[in-house]
Each structure stands twice: as structure tokens, then as C-alpha cells.
């Protein structure tokens, strides 16, 4: 018979065992900047998020939070048979960002995903359900519509100058993002100038903390979170989200942000490359469908100094990227081949940089392929190659960001370029027209069927439709969805 003493010992042991179960630590972190799906292919995606303590800007930044997270991915809304990424650590060193590439997906399929996150693996919560669709791929004879943008200038939008955001818009973010979401595009291409490290100019700091803050304040916008919750993305960088205006890789007496820091911060803040790739390349091509392939080029990492003299040794792309571009163009049997460039190849552009002559510096604009003293030699030799290989008859077109006005231009040799114009109305301006003495086409050699008649923010929408004669429609909209211009191209072959 068990004695009272033994009974008490057993009882106290059971009570102690129950009391030993710790209460879960309260979860005080969140995914305040939402999630982004990037670099979607027919069988893979890069998923991205950042853990924060707030979902708003606090004292000029969105404070990060240390923790763990993993992505859960499925084809059904109940997440049956979900794929799971490894557990990922959100640390201060990595700006509390988690990224992972998930492969083995099925072409032309809608996927849902969510972030499981918390202070530890045994104490987590689930974030909202997000979605994207994989590309149809080379065998997919389906209609594809996507949008291309540039010039997301936060300081101009939230400032006090002309055409800044309304009080309501300043709470929600850029109006064009809501318009784009309403169109349900297959994907969203940001051609660079996604943030402006050097605007306003008087507040330019050369630190990683400052550069990261520029991304945080923008990615936390409700309209940006809503758009990327449903629309996958492809990102390019240009001068303002690399280092500063018209920058090359020349290091001056104040080297930060260095070229290395500019490139690393871009890859950290948006999903562009596999985070486990030790030698990531930011130039790439994606076969979207049977009738569409896109090329996304890198315009900063490999360029020669802007001040170098014109000639065969001056390059914006670098020898390896140029060889890759030619090889992959020749290999493609897609109907429409679209080169999406961060900077223009045709223009026309400004002849001079604003204010440079007054400052006693070289006034000529030397930043891009359309500038005679910039990289026009490389452009012309590339156009030679395109002509030699009959790309004028193989539905090759150029889409460019960078310029703050919408336009459709045709080079004297027949190549066509479509400029997205600035996404943000407050960042738009009137452009340079052929024959403008202040342009780099003073002799009006370029034909320009369209240029914005007044400054307006907006975007370019491209729709490729299959059929016996596939069609590509290029349509420009202002930030509220008003059509400003369209041009339709029927496949040449």
C-alpha cells in the first residue's frame, strides 16, 4: 500500500512536471514589408521577406527584428502537400531579410505561399497568403500581359513640390501601383531607379544604413505590399539605386557607397539571384511563353568609365555580357524578343547634364548607349550585328527605363525603342524630341511617333497574344490608368 509520504512525493513530481512547461514567448515581430516573389521561371521562384517590429515607418525607418522564418508553398489554398523552405535566420547583418529559391515547380501554374515566422522555430505565426503564377514556358501558347516601370522617386512623391502625392496617396503609396494591380499582369518589371539614394541631394549619406532605409520606407507602402502579394517581379538596377546619378565604377575621394556596396545592397533588398549562388549574375533571359522571351541587362557593374574615349574598348555591358546577349538571342526561337534595358539605346536624350557646365565640369551627358560621347559606339556595333543576323525581321524590340517621359522612337536603321516613363507623376518631365537643339539628336535623324505631350507618371503595358499571326501590343498609361498611346506589332514571320 502506498504511504502518504510516497503519495505526496509522486503528486509533487507531477505538479512540478506540469509547471515546467514554459509559456510561449509573445511574438512581437511581424512581416511588415510583406513578401515579394521574384525571378519566376517555368519551374522556380525566389521568395523574399523582411522581419520587422513595425509595419510602418518609425523615425525615418522600418525597424527590423531578429527571428526565424520559412516559406510554405502550395498549389491549393488549403496548403495541402505544401513545400517548405529550410528555416532561415533573420539577422541584423543581413538586414533581417530572408530569401530562398524554390524549384521543382510546374509551368503555367498558380501557386500560393505564406511566411511562417517568429522568435524561434517552436514559437511562430503565419503571415497572409500570397500568390504568383509560374511562366508558361516555351510550350505555352497563351496570352501574356506584363508591365514595365522606372523612376520610383520617394522623395519627390512625399515632398512639397509640384504634382506630389495627395494626403490619401501619401498614406497608401504610389497611385500607379493600384492601377497596375487592377490590370492583373503576369509580372512586373522594375528597370532601375527603384530608389534614389541621392535625392534629396542635400541629404545624401554614404552609408549602408542610409541605403537600406531608402528601400524600407518604400517597400512598406500598402499599395506596394498589395501589388507584390499577387504579382511576381523582375528587378534591374540603374544609377540612383546603385550609387548616384550617372555613376560608373570610378571611385573618387569619398568611395562610399562603393561599387561593391551598391551592388550588394541591391541584391540584398530585392529577389534577383539565388541567395546561395556564390557568383550571381544580374543579366539574364527568361522564356516567358512560346511567343515571348525577355532579356534583362546589367548596365552598371561592368561598364567602362563614362569619361573614357569612344571606341571598341569602351563598353557599358562588358565583353562577357555582350557575348551572352548575342548567343542567347541567336538561340531563341521565341516570336517576340524584348530587350529590357535600364538605360536608353535610341532616345533622344539630353545632350548635357543639368547644371554641370555651371559647376565647371564637363557638361556632356555620357551615361548611356544613346549619348554620342557615352556608349554609342558599342550601340552602333551591336546594331550592326543585329542587322547582319536579320533581327529587324525577327520581332526584336527595346524597352527602356531611366528616362522620365514616355516615348516611342525609331532609329534610322529601323530599330524601335519604347520608354516606360517615370512611375511617379512628381518624378516626370517633358522629354527631348528629335531636332531639339538641347537633345543628342539635333539633326532629327530619329523618328518619334509618340512622346508625352505633358509630364505624367505611369507605366508601359505589353500584351503578347498567340495565333496564326502572333501580336504584341505596347500600351502606355498614366498613373490612373488613362491610355496615353498604343502601338501594335504583328509578327513578321
pLDDT value, residue 18: 47
Say yes or no to pLDDT of 493 above 80.
no
Say yes or no to pLDDT of 12 above 50.
no
Say yes or no to pLDDT of 384 above 60.
yes
Cα distance between residue 210 and residue 204, in whole Å: 8
pLDDT confidence bin for 87, thresholds 50/70/90: very high
pLDDT confidence bin for 206, thresholds 50/70/90: confident
pLDDT confidence bin for 314, thresholds 50/70/90: very high
Residue in the block written with cell 536608353: 344
Say yes or no to pLDDT of 9 above 80.
no
CATH number for the domain running over 35-133: 2.60.40.380
Say yes or no to pLDDT of 471 above 50.
yes
pLDDT value, residue 254: 65
pLDDT value, residue 15: 41
Cα distance between residue 301 and residue 144, in whole Å: 31
pLDDT value, residue 205: 74
| Diameter of the chain measured on Cα atoms | 111
When the pLDDT of each residue in the chain is averaged and rounded to a whole number, the result is 93
Say yes or no to pLDDT of 1 above 50.
no
pLDDT confidence bin for 161, thresholds 50/70/90: confident
Is the Cα torsion angle 97, 103, 108, 112 positive or negative in sign? negative
pLDDT value, residue 158: 95
Say yes or no to pLDDT of 420 above 90.
yes
- Which percentage of the chain shows pLDDT scores above 90? 88
**In contact, 471 and 490? CB cutoff 8 Å:** yes
Say yes or no to pLDDT of 8 above 50.
no
Determine phi and psi for 149, rounding to 5 degrees: -140, 170
Express each pLDDT in 207-237 by its tens digit: 999 999 999 999 999 999 999 999 999 999 9
Is the Cα torsion angle 274, 275, 278, 280 positive or negative in sign? positive
**In contact, 321 and 276? CB cutoff 8 Å:** no
Say yes or no to pLDDT of 467 above 90.
yes
pLDDT value, residue 7: 42
CB atoms within 10 A of CB 331: 10
Q: What is the mean pLDDT of residues 390-414?
A: 97
pLDDT value, residue 162: 82
pLDDT confidence bin for 239, thresholds 50/70/90: very high
Q: Packing angle between helix 319-331 and helix 376-388, nearest 10 degrees?
A: 20
pLDDT value, residue 149: 98
Q: Single out the residue of 341, 218, 209 nearest to residue 282, CA to CA.
A: 341
pLDDT value, residue 16: 44
Cα distance between residue 184 and residue 62, in whole Å: 28
All three cell numbers of 257, joined, read 557607397
Express each pLDDT in 359-377 by its tens digit: 667 889 999 999 999 999 9
Express each pLDDT in 29-59 by its tens digit: 999 999 999 999 999 999 999 999 999 999 9
Q: What is the mean pLDDT of residues 162-184?
A: 96
pLDDT confidence bin for 21, thresholds 50/70/90: low
Q: Single out the residue of 372, 375, 363 nearest to residue 317, CA to CA.
A: 375
pTM as predicted: 0.94
CATH number for the domain running over 144-490: 3.60.21.70
Q: What is the mean pLDDT of residues 466-493?
A: 96
Q: Single out the residue of 65, 120, 113 nearest to residue 87, CA to CA.
A: 120
pLDDT confidence bin for 20, thresholds 50/70/90: low
Q: What is the mean pLDDT of residues 246-262?
A: 84
pLDDT value, residue 178: 98
pLDDT value, residue 203: 66
Domain range list for the chain:
35-133, 144-490
Amino acid at each position: 500500500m502506498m504511504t502518504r509520504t510516497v503519495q505526496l512525493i509522486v503528486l509533487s513530481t507531477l505538479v512540478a512536471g506540469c509547471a515546467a512547461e514554459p509559456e510561449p514567448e509573445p511574438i512581437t515581430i511581424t512581416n511588415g514589408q510583406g513578401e515579394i516573389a521574384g525571378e519566376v521561371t517555368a519551374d522556380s521562384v525566389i521568395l523574399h521577406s523582411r522581419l520587422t517590429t513595425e509595419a510602418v515607418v518609425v523615425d525615418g525607418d522600418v525597424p527590423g527584428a531578429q527571428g526565424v522564418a520559412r516559406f510554405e508553398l502550395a498549389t491549393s489554398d488549403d496548403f495541402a502537400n505544401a513545400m517548405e523552405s529550410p528555416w532561415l535566420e533573420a539577422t541584423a547583418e543581413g538586414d533581417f531579410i530572408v530569401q530562398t529559391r524554390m524549384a521543382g515547380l510546374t509551368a503555367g501554374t498558380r501557386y500560393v505561399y505564406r511566411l511562417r515566422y517568429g522568435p524561434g522555430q517552436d514559437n511562430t505565426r503565419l503571415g497572409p497568403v500570397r500568390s504568383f503564377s509560374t511562366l508558361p514556358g516555351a510550350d505555352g501558347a497563351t496570352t501574356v500581359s506584363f508591365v514595365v516601370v522606372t523612376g520610383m522617386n520617394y522623395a519627390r512623391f512625399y515632398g512639397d513640390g509640384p504634382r506630389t502625392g495627395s494626403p490619401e496617396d501619401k498614406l497608401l503609396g504610389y497611385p500607379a501601383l493600384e492601377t497596375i494591380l487592377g490590370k492583373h499582369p503576369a509580372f512586373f518589371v522594375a528597370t532601375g531607379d527603384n530608389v534614389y539614394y541621392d535625392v534629396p541631394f542635400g541629404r545624401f549619406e554614404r552609408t549602408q544604413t542610409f541605403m537600406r532605409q531608402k528601400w524600407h520606407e518604400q517597400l512598406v507602402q500598402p499599395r506596394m505590399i498589395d501589388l507584390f502579394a499577387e504579382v511576381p517581379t523582375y528587378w534591374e538596377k540603374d544609377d540612383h539605386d546603385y550609387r548616384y546619378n550617372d555613376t560608373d565604377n570610378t571611385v573618387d575621394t569619398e568611395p562610399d557607397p562603393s561599387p561593391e556596396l551598391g551592388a550588394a545592397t541591391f541584391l540584398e533588398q530585392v529577389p534577383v539571384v539565388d541567395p546561395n549562388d556564390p557568383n550571381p549574375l544580374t543579366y539574364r533571359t527568361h522564356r516567358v511563353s512560346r511567343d515571348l522571351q525577355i532579356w534583362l541587362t546589367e548596365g552598371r557593374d561592368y561598364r567602362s568609365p563614362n569619361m573614357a574615349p569612344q571606341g571598341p574598348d569602351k563598353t557599358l555591358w562588358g565583353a562577357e555580357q555582350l557575348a551572352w546577349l548575342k548567343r542567347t538571342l541567336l538561340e531563341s526561337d521565341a516570336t517576340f524578343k524584348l530587350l529590357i534595358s535600364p538605360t536608353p539605346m535610341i532616345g533622344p536624350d539630353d545632350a548635357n547634364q543639368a547644371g554641370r557646365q555651371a559647376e565647371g565640369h564637363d557638361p556632356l551627358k555620357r551615361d548611356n548607349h544613346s549619348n554620342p560621347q557615352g556608349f554609342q559606339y558599342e550601340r552602333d556595333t551591336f546594331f550592326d550585328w543585329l542587322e547582319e543576323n536579320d533581327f529587324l525581321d525577327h520581332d526584336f524590340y527595346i524597352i527602356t527605363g531611366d528616362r522620365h517621359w514616355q516615348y516611342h522612337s525609331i532609329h534610322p536603321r529601323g530599330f524601335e525603342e519604347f520608354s516606360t516613363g517615370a512611375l511617379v507623376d512628381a518624378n516626370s518631365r517633358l522629354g527631348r524630341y528629335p531636332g531639339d537643339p538641347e537633345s543628342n539628336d539635333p539633326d532629327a535623324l530619329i523618328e518619334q511617333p509618340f512622346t508625352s505631350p505633358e509630364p505624367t507618371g505611369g507605366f508601359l503595358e505589353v500584351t503578347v497574344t498567340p495565333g496564326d499571326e502572333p501580336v504584341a501590343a505596347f500600351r502606355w498609361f498614366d498613373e490612373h490608368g488613362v491610355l496615353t498611346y498604343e502601338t501594335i506589332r504583328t509578327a513578321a514571320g
